[in-house]
């Protein structure tokens, strides 16, 4: 999970593509797939648990589009440091 989240963080930090929910969702989906999450729901569940403290949530691409790419990178940084663990 950590490697996938670090990969996602890096891709978001250098993201120069469209910032709409579908484009971001496709990229997040690709990260999970490339890191072998099967089913992919497990990837999204891991993201929600680490970043939002819940086992499910909104479509993650929509969350990033609404919350902001830079803000999501900062949230991932906090999650990777363990700052968000309750």
In a domain, 7, yes or no: yes
Q: Is 37 helix (H, G, I), strand (E, B) or coil?
A: coil
- Give the C-alpha separation, 50 to 27, whole Å: 19
In a domain, 86, yes or no: no
In a domain, 30, yes or no: yes
> Measuring CA to CA, which residue among 73, 52, 80, 81 is closest to residue 10?
73
Structural domains counted in the chain: 1
DSSP state, residue 83:
T
CB 72 within 8 A of CB 80: no
* pLDDT tens, position by position, 64-78: 999 999 999 999 999
- CATH of residue 58's domain is 1.10.10
What range does the domain containing 22 cover?
2-81
* pLDDT tens, position by position, 3-62: 999 999 999 999 999 999 999 999 999 999 999 999 999 999 999 999 999 999 999 999
Beta-carbon contacts of 51 under 8 Å, excluding residues fewer than 6 positions away, are 75, 76, 79, 84
In a domain, 69, yes or no: yes
In a domain, 56, yes or no: yes
pLDDT score of 86: 57
pTM over 0.85: yes
């Amino acid at each position: 999970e950590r490697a996938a989240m670090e990969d996602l963080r890096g891709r978001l930090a250098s993201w120069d593509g469209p910032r709409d929910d579908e484009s971001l969702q496709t990229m997040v989906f690709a990260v999970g797939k490339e890191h072998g999450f099967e089913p992919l729901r497990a990837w999204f569940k891991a993201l929600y648990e680490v970043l939002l403290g819940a086992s499910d949530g909104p479509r993650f691409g929509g969350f990033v589009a609404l919350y902001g790419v830079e803000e999501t990178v900062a949230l991932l940084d906090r999650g990777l440091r363990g700052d968000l663990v309750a």
